[in-house]
Homo-oligomer: A and B are copies of this chain.
Amino acid sequence: MTDSDALRACPVGILTTDAFDNISSFIHQATDAGHDFIVTPISQPRFERVLGIDQPVNVIQTWRDSPAFERDDLVLKSADWSDVVVGSLSPWLNFEDPAFRLNSELALKQEIAWACHLSLLAVIFPTLSGGIADTARALNGAVTSMSYTQMWVQVPLTLENEITPNQSWRNWNQLRTLTEHSPKIQVALELTSKLPEDEQLLDMWLAEPIKAVIIPANVFVSNAKGYPVLGKRHQSFVKKLMSGLRPNIIVTLPSTQLHPSASPESYQEYIRFLNRNLPELNDVERFSIGYQDFLQAPLQPLMDNLDNQTYETFERDPIKYQQYEKAVYHALLDRVKAGSDIETVIMVVGAGRGPLVNCCLRAATKAERKVHVYAVEKNPNAFVTLQNAKADVWHDKVTLVFADMRKWKPTRKCDILVSELLGSFGDNELSPECLDGAQKFLKEDGISIPASYTAFVAPLASTKLYNEVAAYKDLAHFETPYVVMFQQVCELAASKPLWTFEHPNKTPDVPVDSDPINNLHNLRYKQVSFEVKNGMVMHGLAGYFESVLYKDVMISIHPETHSPGMFSWFPIFFPVKVPVQVPQGAIVTVDFWRQTDRKKVWYEWSVAVTSGDGKSDYTILPLHNVGGRSSWVGL
């Protein structure tokens, strides 16, 4: 087992709906057969009497006033083994019929109280049917008293009689929206033989708080030898869930009727086999371990100096500098004829500890062109490393300049201006403003690497990220973008471009030999609309960038064009204040602004959902981050 296998290993448990008299022998058998835990009813069927059918009124009245179990009511009579037990709540709990609602709620609380008393791992609430609003209120009330024991709500992937293709998700979505995305209420997703045809209807579950996946015996098919295996789409979905969410997997008792060769171990062994055979992690995934769905504040490289570790990490990117080298190489080839003696002046602005300087020197060697490199850096700590490199390696091929590129007054101009100032959203680390200041170093026909960059957005679902932001309990965190390695997410629609910055800026906004008068030309505004096929919920916007370094040399973190193996940038996440329901076929319209004043740059955004024909407004969110009140990047 490799390290990454260990990180992705899922506990496997076995579920029984039988109410055993002697649960401990069942537990023994189950663990002997290799299961990590068991799922059993908490109480015996006789406990259903508390619903009051054919019971004397006064008996029920007394129970209602102080609910207590009789010993024979319980399957789980003691805390023995509780560290391997998940309890199922009674299947007869009924929040739909007014006659049973109150007693169901009291019985629910009673079973939960007992499960918590025993410190069970979790309790499973039976499949949601009608009465979801009242169920939500009752569950929400009941989970407040739960701390160690978890609450999983059983949600089948498909329902028998679906009104819409994702009816079961809609039920769950209603429950968790009513309970304000309570982090105490999670999903036990029950696979069904029938899978929805549309792949997005599977993928959307990756954005949900799935703690367990129940795979009943009838979902397995028999292979040629009569052993239970999963069909191809089931396999692939289970593997996705394992990779992304590391859920508890729950199988049921073996059915030799369905699978002639099934033994008590069969399902469990097959699941572990799948679990061991997840696709290998790629470079980016390996780099990201521990960072998945973790909210990071974007860097403020103009206001703060990066530390050595940050440089160290990003210099290790195997792809980014390869692409920069390639860009400089082609620029040199285009700029100077082969065999010419002309020296090309390259200025690396924001040289950091020098990786781009090395790129330029390597590109020059490869292109067989003469170059002189200026390395401009404002961070005094990084500048020490530059001085070391000059003394030890670069010597007079490189001139070091300790300055802020926006203020430096060079004595000569350069042919190629190289910078790596991009953030996850392209312009969000103020590359446009920095390069506006630096382009006065550039000859009129000079080249900027990068030549341009474009920001992209897509509507995103992610209960995890929503809850991470909501946990701060203030408005400001809902109006702040975060750098995040996405894992438990699902895009509602493919991303679209917002705006592009091009360098050098040849418009009159940036005079040839001086600084721009003001920053108004770096304002941007774009409205983009997304047609959403399936009914989903939206928690925010995913942001990406694509950059043309030079001609066809690109770097990208946009999912469709992501530079393979490049790990320097995670995507950016712009939350929205409230989860937004997006009905099937609706249009999500996003308005996005890049705003600026004399001291800072910030984004504002808003989201509206309308009907496909534009005639109905379903949701209009207020403007987010008005005037940069919650988040901004300092100039």
Chain A interfacial positions (CB closer than 8 Å to B) = 57-58, 61, 64-65, 98, 101-102, 133-134, 136-137, 140-141, 144, 163-164, 170, 173-174, 177-180, 508-509, 517-518, 520, 523, 525, 527, 535, 578, 581, 583-584, 586, 591, 593, 604, 606, 608-609, 611, 614-623, 626-627
Residues A65 and B591 in contact, CB atoms below 8 Å apart: no
Residues B133 and A615 in contact, CB atoms below 8 Å apart: no
List 9 A–B pairs whose Cβ atoms lie within 8 Å, in order of A's numbering: A61-B508, A65-B518, A102-B523, A133-B527, A134-B525, A136-B623, A170-B617, A535-B616, A619-B619
A575 to B404 CA separation, bound complex (whole angstroms): 53
A584 to B626 CA separation, bound complex (whole angstroms): 30
Residue of B nearest to A105 (CB): B523
A608 to B171 CA separation, bound complex (whole angstroms): 13
A155 to B578 CA separation, bound complex (whole angstroms): 29
Inter-chain pairs besides A163-B614, A177-B621, A179-B623, 8 sampled, C-beta below 8 Å: A61-B508, A64-B518, A101-B525, A133-B606, A170-B617, A583-B611, A586-B616, A618-B618
A196 to B: closest C-beta gap in Å: 15
Return the contact of A622 from the options B58, B178, B525, B593 (Cβ within 8 A).
B178
B residues within 8 A CB of A584?
Answer: 615-616
A105 to B: closest C-beta gap in Å: 9
Return the contact of A164 from the options B180, B581, B615, B620 (Cβ within 8 A).
B615
Return the contact of A61 from the options B170, B174, B517 (Cβ within 8 A).
B517
Q: A133-B591, A527-B133 are contacts. A508–B58 as well, Cβ < 8 Å? A: yes
Return the contact of A578 from the options B163, B509, B578, B591 (Cβ within 8 A).
B578
A106 to B: closest C-beta gap in Å: 8
Residues A140 and B623 in contact, CB atoms below 8 Å apart: yes
Q: A523-B102, A581-B618, A615-B164 are contacts. A623–B173 as well, Cβ < 8 Å? A: no
B residues within 8 A CB of A520?
Answer: 64-65, 102
Residues A617 and B173 in contact, CB atoms below 8 Å apart: yes
B residues within 8 A CB of A177?
Answer: 620-622
Q: A518-B64, A618-B581, A618-B583 are contacts. A140–B173 as well, Cβ < 8 Å? A: no
Residues B180 and A623 in contact, CB atoms below 8 Å apart: yes
Residues B518 and A626 in contact, CB atoms below 8 Å apart: no
B residues within 8 A CB of A57?
Answer: 508
